[in-house]
Structure 1
């Protein structure tokens, strides 16, 4: 990106490149020098592409927040404490430059980074003829092991933090507003705004994840591809099956107002919709009192939605879905597709 590349790097460094815990040498050299102080290092990386993972006209402040949040959610699912991150930006060439865009992007990023104690310690920028693309790598630390998706056990209760389906419903509304195929529904503007806020600025459940791991929870993952698809990741990794009671899936007031008893909407949004970035975790019933106390201290609702079952020698499905004690057969797509 010629001279402009260095200017953009300097802008990012000036806005986001401050020090952080364990940062011996941060942005500005060939590589960062970090000190995890004898703890286990946990890392994750995600790439977001305009037109596939987000609309090209997204507010850059919202994009900055979400690009970091979706990666922090992976650390939350492991029970890790985030420390550092790397950011790679592939920016489409354009005459008007990127300085105002980058300032807004940095504002959204910084707001979440500051509240979660994450330091940006390096990255890269490059000009591209393709779409705007962001790759974020996060690094965290863990002191007492991590939560894993292969650690579910028969008899475990299946829990969900927060609520499910808001982002998927908001995405449908966004599709319809742009004249694209989507599932429209009527509702007040405040309802649509609440759903959209959940889609654009998800909250990684870091505090709860660390506390749950310390309390003895061994199995968790973040719900990004849809509840059913992500639960299936746990079941396949653990070699088990599950029962889920659909009516127990937690809904926000905004979503409950428009979903009622419509099983099509239940399937489309909370069951198979994506972008929730809540935690799905499995724990023995004996941990229930401790988990409820943790949830109360984090001001975060948690809901038991089903139970892990022993493996079946000839299973037809990994998840048995019930609606008010009646078994349901729900054919069709089983997870969120990151395609606009």
Structure 2
């Protein structure tokens, strides 16, 4: 017998309903009530089975990623995670024990929410005749001026956190394993493929980095969800500027590097346009670059300078192996699988 809605809510409340001095009314009432002591930054994402994730994904991994993609948006603004709302639409008639599934989901959520300082304060659960769907809304405290897409200026350095391209390569491997059209990276060990898959399933939102960057005066950032070129393009368009990027300087993981080599198509497909990395692009004035390096050391996040913001007439200039290159037919990550 499937558990009812109230039972599922109780599972979530018992697992995730932590106390908070600024949470005046939490889960279990008609609405949550919070006390806001500073400006609040709000973002929301909806994920649909078959379009944003494979339907057979483990509930723990799905919970982690659903929360991570939202926390990454807060990181790009420099906000501090505070509260979240969760809406679950669970397919009716499936041979699934949704009570156990929600318990596993709660465990995956808690694994990321607890170290992030995030509290689940409400939401909804419903049955649906469609695919599994979830919407997560997160609220963060904006203690410093928000970092924005429209604040890039010529002369600023373009910096990238972590490594990029891993998740896109892992997605190609996952597609290939399901006999779907793909170009999986060749010659990777089982250990390397596992490392890439972990990056796809459990990205690390750079909230501490984003908060510290905003505090030190960085004014422009963007998280990498649609791919480096596409998301840098959002900055360039919003700010009315161009950029010169050295593709050779892009941060590439030890797991992925052997699959890239001198293959320009591979560089385009994974690090440049693959997406789903949830790292940060930061546009940093020269006088703040040493401070940013220090923030990277303090937060334990690798940071790499990959280029410079330029006047608008430059457009997006990509240089690889000493030559100017162009992107051939890659429009960034699309949510279509």
CA shift in 2, pair 1:196/1:3, >3 Å: closer
Please give the residue correspondences for 1:185-196 in structure 2 after superposition, counting only pairs within 5 Å. Answer: 185-196=186-197
Correspondence list, 1:263-278, <5 A: 263-278=264-279
Alignment correspondent of 2:146: 146
Query: For 1:44, what is the secondary structure of its paired residue?
Result: strand
Q: How does 1:78-93 map to 2 (within 5 A)?
A: 78-93=77-92
In structure 1, distance between residues paired with 2:187 and 2:319: 28
C-alpha distance in 1 between matches for 2:244 and 2:96: 54
The corresponding residue for 1:336 is: 333
Q: Does the 8 A contact of 2:78 with 2:144 survive in 1? A: no
Listed one character per residue, the Cα deviations across residues 234-291 of structure 1 (whole Å, up to 9, x for unaligned) are 0010011111111111001001122112111100000000100000010111111101
User: Where does residue 221 of structure 2 map in the other structure?
Assistant: 220
Residues 11-50 of structure 1: pairs in structure 2 closer than 5 A: 11-37=11-37, 39-50=38-49
> 8 Å contact 1:67–1:136 — kept in the other structure?
yes
- Provide TM-score, normalisation by structure 1: 0.96
The CA distance in 1 between the partners of 2:215 and 2:321, in whole Å, is: 34
Computed over aligned residues only, the root mean square deviation of the Cα atoms, in angstroms, reads 1.4
Other-structure match for 1:125:
125
Q: Once the 2 structures are TM-superposed, how far is the Cα of residue 331 of structure 1 from its aligned partner?
A: 2.0
CA distance in 1: counterparts of 2:137 and 2:312, whole angstroms: 35
Structure 2 counterpart of 1:323, from 320, 323, 329: 320
2:242 and 2:312 in contact (8 A); partners too: yes
CA shift, 1:17, in A, is 1.5
**In structure 2, distance between residues paired with 1:328 and 1:255:** 21
Distance 1:126 1:19 in 2: 25
| Cα distance in 2 between the residues matched to 1:336 and 1:190 | 25
Unaligned runs of 5+ in 2: none
Q: Deviations over 1:50-82 (max 9, x none)?
A: 000000000110001111000000000000000
Match of 2:262 in 1: 261
> How far, CA to CA, are the matches of 2:316 and 2:21 in structure 1?
43
5 Å matches for 1:109-258? Answer: 109-184=109-184, 185-258=186-259
**Aligned equivalents of 1:55, 1:21: Cα separation in 2:** 38
Residues 165-207 of structure 1 show CA distances to partners (whole Å, capped at 9, x for unaligned) of 0000000000011111111223211000000000000000011
Report if aligned partners of 1:20, 1:117 keep a CA contact under 8 Å in 2: no
Q: Deviations over 1:278-331 (max 9, x none)?
A: 00010111111101111011111101111111122xx7xx31111133111222
Q: What is the aligned length? A: 335
Tell me how far apart the structure 1 counterparts of residues 61 and 327 of structure 2 sit (CA, whole Å): 34
